[in-house]
Amino acid sequence: MSQTINVLFLAAEAEPFVKVGGLGDVAGTLPRALRAISNDEIKLDVRLVLPLHTVIKAESLKPIGIYSIPRGKTEVQVEAFEGLLDSMPVYFINGDPIRASGSVYSSNNKLDAEKYIFFSLAALELPRQLNWIPNIIHANDWHTALAAYGNLVRRWEDKKNRIASVITIHNLPFLGPDVKEILEEYGVPLAKTDLPDWARVRPMPLGLWASDAMVAVSPTYSQEILHEEFGCGLEDFFRNRSDTLSGILNGLDVASFDPTTDSVIEKKFSADDLAARKRNKTALQEKLSLPVLPDVPLLGMVTRMDEAKGIDIALKGLKMLAKQSWQLVILGAGRPKLEDAAKKLQETLPDRVRVETRYDAKLARQIYAGSDIFLMPSRYEPCGISQMIAMRYGSVPLVRAVGGLHDTVTDSETGFVFVDKKIKSFNDAVRRAIELYPYHSRWANLQKAGMAQDFSWPGSANKYLDLYKKLIERSSVAITSEIYPTRPVTPTRKIRETPRKTVTGNGEG
């Protein structure tokens, strides 16, 4: 007898409707991957819910209803729409709090706080309007974390509510703004929790506390957040709740990122025809007016200009390695100080460095396909997708052993790995790569090993399915404190009372 698992998947962004950062990639592909692994025994009915941001074209969407959620002594009207993505229902929520912000993420914390509280609560009410009851609420990052909290509040109020909740942690430092007053206005009580005082009014910590399962986007990241450097002041909480914390590596859309079919790159190629790949390097050098030097390793970076990505480590390190033989292409935008530092390196080494400070998806693919070595010296990287794309396109990754980079790149087998954040460690790895590059057969073995890695979504989707089944099995027994014993109202150990390395902004990946 077949079983159907209904999953309401909430996110702030999702390809192809709207994308700002890496969350958009995951939310656009994971729900479809989950549906695709349905079989005769289990059917996954996953439905995606997004805010109807002003940048989304609503003309092709079907209006499916208007309803209200309470706010103080009044109500706020919710407008719901439906679209399709590869036969998957995609619902869009609109209302005054969403229209007020005017963008996916704004710099106004109060606007974003109400926008995403409204969206989370309206999304929780949506299944009743659809006459479709989810078994799982799957939230992502702080923007939708309060759906897990709201679901727990409903469970307290309705003892028959057996909907479980999951939160995927994509970018922990973005915990969201103080939402105490706005939650109270929407009639959602604040529970006594074992969270630090400063965290008891922030969306991400509240959602994590209320969730039945927490998933970090790589196994290594799930262990890193247990410690001070990466835990953002919640490391004690995570250790207390370690039985509900796991790590599932994000997947890659291998149909989109495929060098054998990619029409954007100069020359299609495969692991069996690496000679054809060389044309992409030449084309990239010509496009950016770099000297066409086949025997000089071309380093590539496609990155956000942010200290978290270690761009400053790369710039300082490569300047020290000016006597070595290399070329460098950087594509990325972000902090003006780092953009200026990159441009200054280009001015210092005009025949070797090219910097493009913009978002350009086409050029990004050309860098993956044309570079020899792909640099990711990240200070932290919960999962990372660029190293996966680089390997798929035969660019050998050089990464720091952190988060998903540690889980996906093996030193001397599929790439080059260094451990600490010191420039010397980065430079040592670069030297090793440059020294190996002239040995063509050994270099080709690195490329082929990377290209052979399977980062496709089905593997990750099956791990989420296993998690869903465990949660449903637990919730089918009873909704009692014995079944859900993970929310003590007093700390079981001393909890830090000041945040560490947290950010109140949007967390756009």
52: its two tokens? 């109807």
> Does the structural domain 3-251+459-477 have CATH classification 3.40.50.2000?
yes
Nearest-CA neighbor of 232 among 201, 198, 207, 209? Answer: 198
pLDDT given for residue 487 in this prediction: 47
Confidence tier at 253 by pLDDT (50, 70, 90): very high
Confidence tier at 479 by pLDDT (50, 70, 90): very low
Strand 62-71 and strand 42-51: the pairing is unpaired
Residue that is written with structure tokens 């009851």 in the block? 133
| Ranges of each domain in the chain | 3-251+459-477, 274-451
pLDDT given for residue 58 in this prediction: 84
Residues of the chain with pLDDT > 90: what percent?
A: 87
Contact 149, 125 (CB under 8 A): no
251: its two tokens? 């997947």
pLDDT given for residue 159 in this prediction: 75
Contact 12, 140 (CB under 8 A): yes
Average pLDDT, the chain: 93
Give residues with Cβ within 8 angstroms of 228, minimum separation 6: 235, 500
- AA identity, residue 117: I
70: its two tokens? 């309470």
pLDDT given for residue 482 in this prediction: 34
H or E element that contains 485 = none
- Report helix angle 311-320 to 336-348, nearest 10: 20
Residue that is written with structure tokens 């001397």 in the block? 412
217: its two tokens? 């986007």
Q: Kindly state the average pLDDT of the residues 48-65.
A: 94
- AA identity, residue 48: L
How far is it between the farthest Cα atoms of the chain?
Answer: 73
pLDDT given for residue 503 in this prediction: 56
Given a cut of 60, whether residue 480 has pLDDT beyond it is no
Confidence tier at 300 by pLDDT (50, 70, 90): very high
Alpha carbon distance 443, 127 (integer Å): 53
Q: Kindly state the average pLDDT of the residues 134-144.
A: 98
Convert the pLDDT of each residue in 463-472 to its tens digit: 999 999 999 9
Contact 5, 469 (CB under 8 A): yes
297: its two tokens? 């390793």
Convert the pLDDT of each residue in 355-376 to its tens digit: 999 999 999 999 999 999 999 9
Confidence tier at 321 by pLDDT (50, 70, 90): very high
Contact 175, 116 (CB under 8 A): no
pLDDT given for residue 505 in this prediction: 54
Q: How are strands ordered across the β-sheet holding 416-418?
A: 353-356, 327-331, 298-302, 373-376, 396-400, 416-418
Confidence tier at 491 by pLDDT (50, 70, 90): very low
Give residues with Cβ within 8 angstroms of 83, minimum separation 6: 17, 60, 61, 62, 89, 90, 91, 92
Given a cut of 60, whether residue 31 has pLDDT beyond it is yes
Convert the pLDDT of each residue in 376-404 to its tens digit: 999 999 999 999 999 999 999 999 999 99
Superfamily of structural domain 274-451: Glycogen Phosphorylase B; (3.40.50.2000)
Q: Kindly state the average pLDDT of the residues 453-478.
A: 91
Give the Cβ contact number of residue 320 at 10 Å.
14
DSSP codes of every residue in 191-217:
PP-SS-GGGTTSHHHHHHHH-SEEEES
Give the Cβ contact number of residue 467 at 10 Å.
19
pLDDT given for residue 102 in this prediction: 84
Residue that is written with structure tokens 């952190």 in the block? 402
pTM: 0.92
DSSP codes of every residue in 309-358:
GTHHHHHHHHHHTTTS--EEEEE--B-HHHHHHHHHHHHHSTTTEEEE-S
Alpha carbon distance 251, 217 (integer Å): 10
Given a cut of 50, whether residue 266 has pLDDT beyond it is yes
Given a cut of 90, whether residue 456 has pLDDT beyond it is yes
Nearest-CA neighbor of 374 among 424, 331, 404? Answer: 331
Contact 293, 284 (CB under 8 A): no
Given a cut of 70, whether residue 101 has pLDDT beyond it is yes
Confidence tier at 500 by pLDDT (50, 70, 90): very low
396-424: b or e for each residue (b if 16 or more CB lie within 10 Å)? bbbbbbbbbbbbbbeeeebbbbbeeeebe
Convert the pLDDT of each residue in 164-201 to its tens digit: 999 999 999 999 999 999 999 999 999 999 999 999 99
Confidence tier at 488 by pLDDT (50, 70, 90): very low
Alpha carbon distance 416, 297 (integer Å): 14
Contact 208, 234 (CB under 8 A): yes
Convert the pLDDT of each residue in 401-414 to its tens digit: 999 999 999 999 99
pLDDT given for residue 362 in this prediction: 97
